[in-house]
Amino acid sequence: MSVAVLLAYDGTDFHGYQRQTLAREPTVQGTLEGAIQRTCGQPVATAAAGRTDAGVHARGQVVTFTPPSGNRLDPAAWQRALNARLPASMAIRAACAVADGVHARLSATAREYRYRLLVAGVRDPFRERFAQRVPRPLDVAAMQAACEHLRGEHDFAAFGQSPWNVPGQPKHPTVRHLYRAEVRPHGDEIWCDFAANAFLTGMVRRLMGVLLLVGAGKLTPPEVAAIRAARRPDHPGPAAPACGLCLMQVTYPAGTLCWPAETSDGVSDHDYL
């Protein structure tokens, strides 16, 4: 039996998702696989829907793994066992059995990220681990207009690179279908939502870099279109800080994952703060 888990984590103190043998800082994957090994007594490899960068959070990361043969834990027991072994910054929100061949990354059809901006002149210790604070109001209408030039299937080489590139090897395509790019006010915050079939490494943070310049009146929406079309990474708009970014959810074909209702926390991902 293979298992899928719905994983949430505060990425502040992790050196990204992907396991790194020589890294001194903990990674999400390394921490999770350590908990799995302590549960079943053997090393178990995992696959995740997305490799979040250092400092990036997740509300709806999906991870699949196949326990050793002879393991008798059902998905609910896996959830309890792993949550007992994971640090406070990580939690298994749900777990379910999946058919052979289901892979967290390869089986996914879409990913959705949210970037949160806190508009405040004074820092907020209770929110700044999960939002980027901007001291002055931004032109949300202009940012939304710029999103019109980002939605659709485009080459997003200006905003990132394929995570599968290997030095000395041909580069992987950087065309992605960004079917949602939306900026909207939410109280004293601005929520920027992005959904695509897949994302390039650093793509959302680089998109936010140019949108922040638009909001501050330093770039126009047509200039964002020109940046995208030029496909060059050396443009205005450095990557926005990781703290504001969260992987909200991953989409799969109907019936692929069936999270038990009783193991979910009942909070809507779209309304999550």
Residue numbers annotated as active site: 53
Structure tokens at 65: 């793994």
At 180, the amino acid letter reads R
Q: What 3-state class would DSSP assign to 76?
A: helix
At residue 146, φ and ψ (nearest 5 deg) are -65, -35
Q: What is the distance between the alpha carbons of residues 39 and 73, in angstroms, rounded to a whole number?
A: 10
221-230 vs 140-147: helix axis angle to the nearest 10?
30
Structure tokens at 100: 């052979």
Q: What is the distance between the alpha carbons of residues 226 and 271, in angstroms, rounded to a whole number?
A: 33
The answer to whether 190 and 240 are in contact (CB under 8 A) is no
